[in-house]
A and B are shown apart, each in its own frame.
Chain A
């Protein structure tokens, strides 16, 4: 079993839909990252959180440390949101462990 599991693996949505991507992990962590990988391959950091909830524009990330679970929500989705979304956890130490990613396609 991977230490970081994401669901779904693939997601297709219509423009305007509310999207949720889930991340579950099995180890103790000090922080959790959400990353976005564009179709061209570049990776950007969306959020880093260790508790509660963060919001940036149409993106919201939440984490429940007790349940070892995090969600990334996209409100009013748009075709430009099409990308791979990656969850990564910082184990106690200095190492990031990554999920396999969720491929999101938003159709207009």
Chain B
């Protein structure tokens, strides 16, 4: 199993550009989440999904969209990048609500 994969590993955007961060898992996990990690702060939940076709907002959803058309994939879309979205983004999956989380390697995004 590859586990949780994320692409790209690094990305630089200009303000106003859009892009999609990819996340995939091959463990047939129902739960998938996107987090951002900023210096001095804990990880914060952006969006999450409890299964294909079901998504919900987390703590900091503004400026981001998600969809979950398959169990395996959970892409995160930045609609119009802003410098405040400069961060490290982690995708995670778990088999269910009361199970351990499996994290991807992260994507470091810089918005100029």
> Using a CB–CB distance below 8 Å, which chain A residues touch chain B?
2, 4, 30-31, 33, 35, 41-45, 48, 50, 86, 88, 90, 94-101
Contacts and interface: CB of A to CB of B under 8 A. Distances in A.
Given A42-B103, A43-B90, A45-B101, 14 more contacts: A30-B97, A31-B98, A33-B101, A41-B105, A48-B98, A48-B99, A48-B100, A86-B42, A86-B43, A94-B48, A95-B59, A97-B42, A98-B44, A100-B42
A36 B71 CA distance: 26
A88 B101 CA distance: 11
Contacts of A97: 42, 45, 59
A100 B42 CA distance: 4
Contacts of A88: 42-43
**Interface range, B side:** 20 to 34
B100 A33 contact: yes
A41 B48 contact: no
Given A41-B88, A100-B41, A94 B98 contact: no
Given A4-B42, A94-B50, A45 B102 contact: yes
Contacts of A96: 33, 43, 45, 101
Contacts, number: 59
A4 B101 CA distance: 18
A45 B44 contact: no
Nearest to A48: B100
- Please provide the 7 A-B residue pairs with the shortest distance between their CB atoms, ordered closest to farther: A98-B42, A45-B100, A43-B103, A98-B43, A100-B42, A48-B100, A99-B42
Given A94-B56, A100-B40, A50 B100 contact: no
Contacts of A48: 98-100
A44 B103 contact: yes
A43 B101 CA distance: 9
A36 B98 CA distance: 18
Nearest to B42: A98
B74 interface: no
